[in-house]
Every structure is written in C-alpha cells, then in structure tokens.
Chains A and B, each alone.
Chain A
Amino acid sequence: MSNTLNANLNKVNSILERKLRSFLSGPKKGETFELRNGLVSQYKHERKDSIQRVIQAMTLGKDVSSLFPDVLKNIATYDLQQKKLVYLYLMNYAKTHPELCILAVNTFVQDTEDPNPLIRALAIRTMGCIRVDKMVDYMEIPLQRTLKDENPYVRKTAAVCVAKLFDLNPQICIEFGFLEQLQELIKDSNPMVVVNALNALYEIKDMNTDENLVVFEINHEIIQNLVLCLNECTEWGRITILTTLNDYTTSDVEQVNHIIERVIPQLQHVNPSVVLSSIKVILHHLEIIPSQQQRDGILKKLSAPLVSLVNSSSIPEAQYVGLKNIRIILEKYPQILSKELRIFFLKYSDPLYLKLEKLEIMIRLANESNSTILLSELKEYAMEFEPSLVSKAIKSIGSVAIQLSNCVVKSVTLLNEIIEQRGGDLIINESIIVLTNILRRYPRKNDFITLIIPIISNHIEELDRNDSLSSYIYLLGEYPKYFSNLHDKLTKLVEQFLSFDPILQLNTLTTIVKINLQSTGTQFSSLLQQVLEMSTKECENADVRDKAYIYWRLLSSSSSVEVQKRIVLSKIPAIKTTISSFNPIILETLMSELSTLSSVYHKPAKTFIDASAYSRTPKTNEKLEDLKTKAKKEIINNVKNENLLDFDDDGNENGVGSEEGVNSLLDELNDLFMAQPPPTQSEAPQQGQSQTNDILSLFNTIPTTTPGKPSFTGSSTTTNTGSTVNNDLLDLF
C-alpha cells in the first residue's frame, strides 16, 4: 500500500518538478542564483550553509519562495538541524506553493515512523503547520499512529496536531474520530499529554462553528483526574488545568472544598500567572461555601499572594497586570488588602504607568489608621517631576479627603504646603479643582469653607485652565460671602466674558444670576444686565444664548423672588466620591474574566473582542489580505528584476513575461481596490464603530453608580465626574 503510494508520489514529483522548474527559473545572477547553486551542491556542508542563508533571507523579510523546489530536495537528511530548517522553510512558504508541498509528504510520513521520537514529533508537528488543504488527506495515518505512540513526547505533540487539523478541515477531523481520541487522552498517564489534549480541545471549542458538536464536557470525573495532575505539571500545564477548574461550576460543597484545598498550594508557585489563575479559581468557587467564617479564612489566605503579584522581582509589565487585577478584586472584596498599603508605595525606578496604577490602588486602601502615612507619601509624589504623576498625586490627596472626613483639614493644609513650596501652573490648577471637590463633598461647612476659600483667592490670577476656572467661578456663586472684593472679581469675569469658552460663559452666567438673587442690594444688577445682553446678542453658542434667555425670562416674569430663588439657588446633592468604580454588572463580568486581556482594559471581552475571531477565520478575508501583499511584493520584485534584466542576454523573454505579470497583477490590484466593498477594509471600521457604540452604551449606565453627579448643566461641577468618566473612556481606548 505505502509502496504504491510512494511510487505514485514519485511520479507526480517528477512531473511537477519539471513543470515548475521552467516556470520558476528566474534571473540567473545575484543572491538567489548563488543560493540555488549552493542548495544543489554535491557537498553536504555547502548545502546546509545555503539553507541557513535562505532562512536568514526569509527572516529579513526577503521573498525566497522561488527556491522552494531546491530547498525541498534537502528534506531527506539525517541531520536533525538541517531537517528542522527545511521544515521551517516549508511552513513559511507552503501557502505560496501548495502543489509542491505534496512532494514533501513522503518524507513527512516516513519521518513519523522514525526510531527517534524527536523526529517523529517534529514531523507531525510540522505537518500540522503546513496550512494547505491538500495536506489534510495525508495526515490521517501518521496522526493516528502518533496519537498512540509509546513516547509521551510524541503523543503530546500529536494531541496539538489534532487542533491544527480541525483548523484546516473540521469535517475530516471529526470523521476520522480524532476528537474522541483527544477526549481519551485526557485520561493519559502522562500529565504533559493530558494538558496538551486539554489545550487542543479548548482550541477546537473556540474554532468550532457547529452548534450541534459537543467538543468536550467537563464533568466530575475529569476534574478529579485533573486535580491529581496539578502538582506534576509544568507551570503552563498548571495554568491550563486551573483554567479548566475555573470553567467548572458545581454546587456540591464537598467538591468545591476539595478543589480549593488542592489549588491553595499553587498560590506559592513562583510564576505569577499560576498564582493569579489560582486566585481566580478560588474566587470562582468561593461563593458555594456556606460558612462565612470559612470564606473569610480563605480570603485571608489570598492577601499575601495578591501582594506577591507586585513583587519587584517580576518585570514591570507583569506587575502592571497584577495591579489591574487587584483593582478589580479590591472592588469586590474591599477588605482583602486592608493592611498592605506600604507594598504599593512607589519605587523611584518604577515606570510611569506602574506608578500611576499603584496610586489607584493606594487611594482605594485609604482608611483612618493609615491616612497619615499615605498623605505624607502623596506629598512626596506631588514633588516629583512627571506632570501626570504630580497631577494624579494631587487628585489622590483630594480623594483621601473626600473618602475620610477627618483627613480634610490635613489634606487641605498639605495642598496649601505643596502650592507654597513648589507652585507652578500645573499644581495650582489641579489643587483648585481638588479643593472645590472637597467642598462639594462637605458643602456648607463653615470651617472648611474658611480654610479653603482663602487658598483659592490667593491664586486666582494663576488659573489658566477651563476646569480650574470653572471650579473657581462655581465657588464664587456658591459662597459669595467668603470672597473679598467680590464686585471686582465679577467685573473682571464680565470683562473677559466674550473671550471665554462656552463652558466658562455658562458658569459665569449662572454665578452672576445666583449672586444677584442672593444679594439684597442692587450693586450687581448692572453686571447681570451686561452678561445677559452679551450672552443673548453677541454669543454664538446656542447653549449660552438659551440659558441666558431662560434666566432672563424667569427673572422678568411675574413669579415671586422666593420662587426664583428656589429654582436658581437649589442645592446640589453632595458628591460621595471621586474614585471611579465599576457598574455592578461589569464588575461581575470582570471578576469572571480575571487575568485575561479584559482585566487590563477593564472592560468585558465582548466589547473589544470580535466574537467571530473565535471561530475559524474567514478564509476569503485572509486570502485577500495575503493576495494584496503578495501582489505588492511581486510588483516590487519585478521592478527590481527588470533592472537586472537589462543587462541580461536572455532578458527579453523573461522581460516580456514579467511585464505581463506586472500588468495583470496591476489589474488584479485595481480590482482589489476598486471593488466596491473590499471586505477587509470595510469591515474593520464598522466593527470599530459598533465597538464604540457598545462602549458608549456601557458608560451610559455608569452615572447611576456615581450618585454625586449633579443634574444641571452649566455649572462647574460637571467637570469632575465628567472627567472620571472621560478617563474611563480613555482607558477603554
């Protein structure tokens, strides 16, 4: 049987080779020519050397696909190194020469029977990577054989190959019963094989588009088996098993106890991803445990491992992922790290993004007992160099004051110190916003007002940002009695009115109306008149005009002053916090997606992952993309060739050929670009848009969770919550 197959193949080989040889013979000079000579050299080392150079050219991005037949000749060798290189070349260029790949099949099949397990595994691994449809037909026998190989190294490689086959052709993969065999391998005696079988099944599950196909079901028995394997696996194997344990849900308390018991030792693993995956499994099963006491006991055990995620021995990128996950877990279980503030202190050598994220955690850990040390740390950070760190440190001081009422005086004094000692636009602007927010948290408290307003009054001249000016103008309207020289200050605002941005105009308008209603005399009425006139006559912004008309009509209506006051001077509810939090539904989703990409973007997977990416890729898409690049490359190559050919004797023939090639390729290219909706191009933006819509819709729900958000517009107060939402939105992108 195999003899006839071989004979047939050989025949096909020789015919194909002759045909392709004439087709592919390009210019006879230059690097390619030299390489080709080397590849067919009679000396072993020359051939090997040439193969290496071919691979090197490939690495550099040169197209060496024209050497395909010559490289292929070197496939039958005892030299493992050389074999690997040829296989590597095959994997890379199989797509460009699908017909020629058949020539290699023979060697592949032979190699899967080699006495050396390393070669058997190499062959089956490479076969699966040659993504050519025709390959599928030849894969059945070798794959069957290697899946039952006596050597676990070969079996574990073959297990992955099943997933590769499924990717190429799901029907055949199922027909030949590979799926069942894979399910059997989960019970293999070797942990590495078990894990790879599991991984392959996961891949297949993701690729599968057939709803009726059950790829695999996690049941009690499998879990039992996996739990036993856990300690014998490599770190990556452990992660796979932990993922499976996380996907398994049971209400059986005894089982849950057993799983948690087995997973807890993994918290001591040196690899942070094993630690994080273990934490995830434990948190997933935690709720099933009925006893509150036991649950708390388990949670307590998680605090040291969580801290270890920000251990300075791991790379900053890993620490960052750790911090992002900690932030999610902290929101669900606020007490879990209550004693660990110091761990999150910034290190001078931390990259900026890490420092900023650490600050996020620090403000969430603030409590009565650690506030003193936290505030003095924050002050240090406010003296640092990076502007974003400085502004975040100042915001954090504000958050602490807003969180803990007995820290207000301390925080405000601290801010004043920072302004006095360092000063500068950035610090003053940020501090004014923060101070305003503190007043919005504790409105109408005389001692706080008398503490804060003088600080602000001293630095009015230095405010140059819309948000900080808005804060100041808002305070003017809210607490006019506390400002000295109120009339001068207002006059100045009115003078600048027309040069303001609409947001400031709206604020100024509101403030002046408010002051007018509060004051008994008529000293401000001329200012009011001016502002109303400017807003209605000279302003281009419709919002400002509308608002001015509303005020004007209200004030000139027959309603009593009392009613007017009730409308204009109504008190806004106090804000509760400036620390952003997740919507409860999103929090639940994020908890279930810990350690994944969504945990660092802080948004559920469905908002940024294309669901179809899980199934097999739409081939047409890919082909088009490939074809485009291929076409571009061809044109470039041909242009180069033409230059070379000018000096060549037999250039004419080839030249014409290549010119034709160029033309037809150009046509093809034109087609590609002209065709009305080229799928790759049109789909992407659409996706992008639907994603943003999704995201926006998510955030529409957010304000409900921050009850402090004021309900009227035109006041400075919108800036604060607005900016946290903005920040979140920015995070998303």
Chain B
Amino acid sequence: MASQIHFLDIKGKSLLSRDYKGDIPSNTIEKFPLLLLELENSIEEGEYKPFINNQGINYVFINHNNLYICALTRKNENIMAIIMFLSKLVEVMTQYFKSLEEESIRDNFVIIYELLDEMMDFGIPQITDTKILKEYITQDYYSLIKSSPQHLLTPPNAVTNAVSWRKDGIFYKKNEAFLDVIESINMLINANGQVLNSEILGEVKIKSHLSGMPDLRLGLNDKGIFTSEGDTSGKGIEMEDIKFHQCVRLSKFENEKIITFIPPDGEFTLMSYRLSSAQFLMKPLLLVNCRMKVHKHSRIEIVCSIKAQIKKKSTANNVEVIIPIPEDADTPKFNPEYGSVKWIPEKSCLVWKLKTFPGGKQFTMSAELGLPAVVDSEKAIANNKPIKVNFSIPYFTTSGIQVRYLRINEPKLQYQSYPWVRYITQSGEDYTVRMK
C-alpha cells in the first residue's frame, strides 16, 4: 500500500522514516519541503490538497499537531485506506505517548520503529489495535531483560484470532460494565434564532471490567433495530448511519437486528450513530440572541441573552457562550445578570460562563468595549465568526434513545455482573449561532 512512511516537521523536514519496499529512492522525501511550499503558496487559490503527485511518486499526507505524516507510493493505491492508516498511526502513537509531536518522536524513536514494523509489513497494514499492540510492544523495555526465559514475550493469540481485540484469561473480582450514551449536538442557528442545520452525533461508550470471554447483547429502543421497517407506530427512534466497533457481529445485526459482541477489555466506543435531527430538534436547546451595535471609531455595545429550552427538571452544566469581537477592541466592561464574563484578547472573544443553568430560565448579559479611533476597514469584514456555545446536560438524551438491557453471558464462568448506564447530551464541535 505504501512504500515509505515519514514523520516530518511542519517545514517538511524528515524526523523519522521507514522504508518498506525499496522501490522509491530513499532521498525522494527531500523534495517534500519544496513541494509543500509550492502547495502552500497556492492555498489562496484554494488549490491545496493533501496529496502531491510529483514525477510519478505520490505523496499522501495528513497533518497532526504541527507534524506531517506522509506516505509515498508509486502505484494507484487505495488512498482512503492510506489516509485511514496514517490516522490510525497517529491514534496508536497518541495512545502510547499521550501526545504525538516532534518531541515525543525524538524521545521514542525506538518504540516507533518497533510499532511501524508491527503495524505494516512490505507496505501492507497488519495490526493497528493499540490494545493488542500493547500486549507485546511494551513501553518500558527494560522489563524485558529482567524477565526470565519462561516469561518471554510471545505474540498474543489475539493477534491472529478471530477475536483479535481481546486476550484470554482476563479476570476481575467484581464484574462490571459501564455504559455511557453521549449525544453531541451540532447546530447551526441563524441570527434570527432559526435552526438551519442540526445533527445529533451519538456514541455508546463502554468501559468493560469483565472476566473471561463474555458475550454481550445490547437492547436499545431503536426503531430500525427492534421493529420492522414498515412499522412506524412504535415509540422507537430511527437512527441513520450506524457504525459499530469491529467487535460487533455485523452480519447478525444486518439479518436479525441484534447487537451482540465480545467486548475488548477496558474502554471503547461500541457504536456511533447520526440522526438528521429534523424530527427532534425543531428549536435550539440553548437559544442565544446576541445583538452587537458597533459605533465606528468609538465603542461596541453587546447585548446577549440565552435561554435554556429544555425541561424544567433538567439542568445544563458548564455553559459557555463564546462571542467573537473585533481584534482591536479593548477596555471591556461587563454586566452579566448571572455567571461571569471574561475577555480573551488573544482569541478576540468574550467568554460568558454559566456554571449551572436550570431549564426554562433566561439570562441576559450586556457588555461594552472601546474601539480605536483609526480602523483598518479590512479587519471589520474578517470578523464573521459565529458565536459558539458549549454545554452539557446530564441524564438526558435529545433523541430519546434508551438502553433497554445489556445481557452479559460468560459461558464458562457464569458470573453475576452489573451494567451501569449514564446519559449525557453535550454540545458538539459546531454548535454555532451566526451574528447579524
């Protein structure tokens, strides 16, 4: 798939490389900084792409933390697979080193080489599951010397098993499984408070502390899963675009609409789903109305109100309203009815924080900032950023999804186990309100 893989700094200088196939001269990557520069010069025209084709060699790269991770190939390879492999590489290394950046590459080159060797052979992706890799590529390698020959590291059976994500012989005194149903709301609201676009990105996360090889079966109140497609009378909800962790038996789901799986140990995301939320989200959960009055060359007045359009019993926590202001504004004065306001000049924004926000309530905040007398007209146009809102609402799912049951069955050990379920709705990456 890939002939070479390189880790490069932001200028395109190579930090660490691995040549898998030897069909591309080893100095080819030295051209990368120049090609990158060329590409970046074309950004204004929108010609930037994360791929370069130069003299028959294709550079496919992704950007992460001021690093480029780049694969080279001569063939017309499956580019989606390459990109996903690179992103998996980042994921694995992040799990190994907490954060993947220039310094962690320099500090961990030994283990990176090892990982690169195990994750890809002759350009063919092999094992990319961190949990399994951690079984036999261990961070603290000095422990290897101490181990006696009997305890020599061997490839875990899981590597090549059908159940490649779980090792044998896991044991817990107390067998528990924690389920988190997390729904992230992305919403685009125009200046009049109308919802232009909204989606719910849901995730069911599981933290499994279960012994042996348990077989789990999850029951949800999902319409697509538990009732036939024609039947719309039920109170279920219809999910779109469901994605499962590799442990879920996809064909069983496709044929019988049952979610069954042997979970990996520890934390993982069992499934994710998307709801085009027209049916649930007619109005914003948190309605922000912000009016900004600009008196040119003197000051800006901002009046912002926020209303929680959720059930009275529910509470939104850690609400943050981030209001962008012109870069050159200064001397802020605030008057919040509730909560606190902060001015963050380096990000040119005001942050209004409300720690707890009971449903149905409404709060207002007014602020005033000074503007310099001389203004560069270009900057005024540039400030077209939307208002961003962050929040989380516990014990509540917007879609109404519910876990009906989680059956845990370990055929050999036959233990009692307890599933715990939590629900939370939170703001996604893009819960934004456009300004007038």
Contacts and interface: CB of A to CB of B under 8 A. Distances in A.
Judge: A and B partners, yes or no: yes
A55 interface: yes
A717 B276 CA distance: 42
Interface size, A (range) = 35 or more
Interface in A293-324: 304-305, 307-308, 311-315, 317-318, 320-322
Contacts of B121: 125, 157, 160, 196
A304 B155 contact: no
A705 interface: no
A380 B122 contact: no
Contacts of A151: 155, 160
B201 interface: yes
Nearest to B43: A352
A348 B381 contact: no
A345 B53 contact: no
Interface string A214-248: 00000000000000000110111001100100000
Nearest to A164: B122
Nearest to B28: A625
Contacts of B340: none
Interface in B417-431: 428-430
Contacts of B76: 593, 596-598, 605, 609
Contact of B154 (A116, A385, A600): A116
A153 interface: yes
A342 B278 CA distance: 11
Contact of B75 (A190, A342, A343, A609): A609
B370 interface: no
B381 A385 contact: yes
Given A79-B145, A157-B121, A270-B246, A609 B155 contact: no
Contact of A61 (B14, B78, B81): B14
Contact of A312 (B43, B62, B186): B186
A601 B432 contact: no
Q: Is the interface of A mostly helix, strand, loop or mixed?
A: helix
A617 interface: yes
Interface string B243-278: 111100111011000000000000001001010100
Interface size, B (range) = 35 or more
Contacts of B386: 348
A357 to B, nearest CB: 9
A55 B196 contact: no
Given A157-B121, A352-B46, A687-B56, A276 B80 contact: yes
Contacts of A353: 46, 48-50
B416 to A, nearest CB: 31
Interface stretch (A81-89, A429-437, A579-587, A670-678): A81-89
B152 A266 contact: no
Contacts of B169: none
A637 to B, nearest CB: 16
B382 A321 contact: no
B46 A392 contact: yes
A269 B25 contact: no
B53 A601 contact: yes
B44 A388 contact: yes
A311 B87 contact: no
Contacts of A320: 49-50
Contact of B44 (A231, A277, A387, A688): A387
Contact of B128 (A129, A191, A236): A236
A232 B162 contact: yes
13 contacts: A84-B113, A167-B21, A167-B23, A268-B243, A269-B250, A308-B241, A320-B49, A322-B80, A385-B382, A388-B44, A388-B45, A388-B46, A422-B381
Given A304-B240, A385-B384, A609-B76, 8 more contacts: A264-B254, A265-B251, A314-B87, A320-B50, A342-B276, A349-B429, A597-B76, A617-B23
| CB-based closest 6 A-B pairs | A388-B46, A265-B250, A613-B74, A236-B125, A605-B76, A152-B160
